Amino acid sequence: MDAQTLVDERGELWLALAPLWLEREPRESDYARMIEVIERHDLSTRELEWVFRLELAPVLSRQQMSVASEWRNFDDHKLMRLLVAHNLRLKGWRRKSWALFSGLTTLMTRHRWNELIERLMIARGEAPE
């Protein structure tokens, strides 16, 4: 898959989910936007989990843990470049490595992710797990 295809297929979703890694808790409007975008992409909760763990967490957790705190002044274009570069390399052993270590890269945002998935399931009329 080339960079433009990645941006076309995942860009909106990635940018919508990025607030999960902010220093502040996501607002109601953030969660509402995330659910709206997720519904447009028509992904199952299982597919979303892998987007969270493999496509987003390896990049955004580094920004969250950065001492320089670039995240405060982060722009969408820079974020998209980092995400595209990561996902273009996400094959073979890299994919397996990130899957193995995804528990660590998602640790700081897991509670927010669980909140989002619970809200998504309610919006879909499913019973939260």
Q: How many CB atoms lie within 10 A of CB 50?
A: 15
Q: Do the Cβ atoms of 104 and 58 come closer than 8 Å?
A: no
Q: What is the pLDDT of residue 121?
A: 96
Low-confidence ranges of the chain (pLDDT < 50): 67, 69
Four-point Cα dihedral 95, 89, 14, 112, nearest 10? 30
Rounded distance between C-alpha atoms, residue 101 and residue 99, angstroms: 6
Rounded distance between C-alpha atoms, residue 97 and residue 25, angstroms: 29
Q: What is the pLDDT of residue 71?
A: 53
Q: Which helix or strand (DSSP H or E) is residue 54 part of?
A: none
Q: What is the pLDDT of residue 6?
A: 86
Q: Do the Cβ atoms of 16 and 41 come closer than 8 Å?
A: no
Rounded distance between C-alpha atoms, residue 45 and residue 102, angstroms: 16
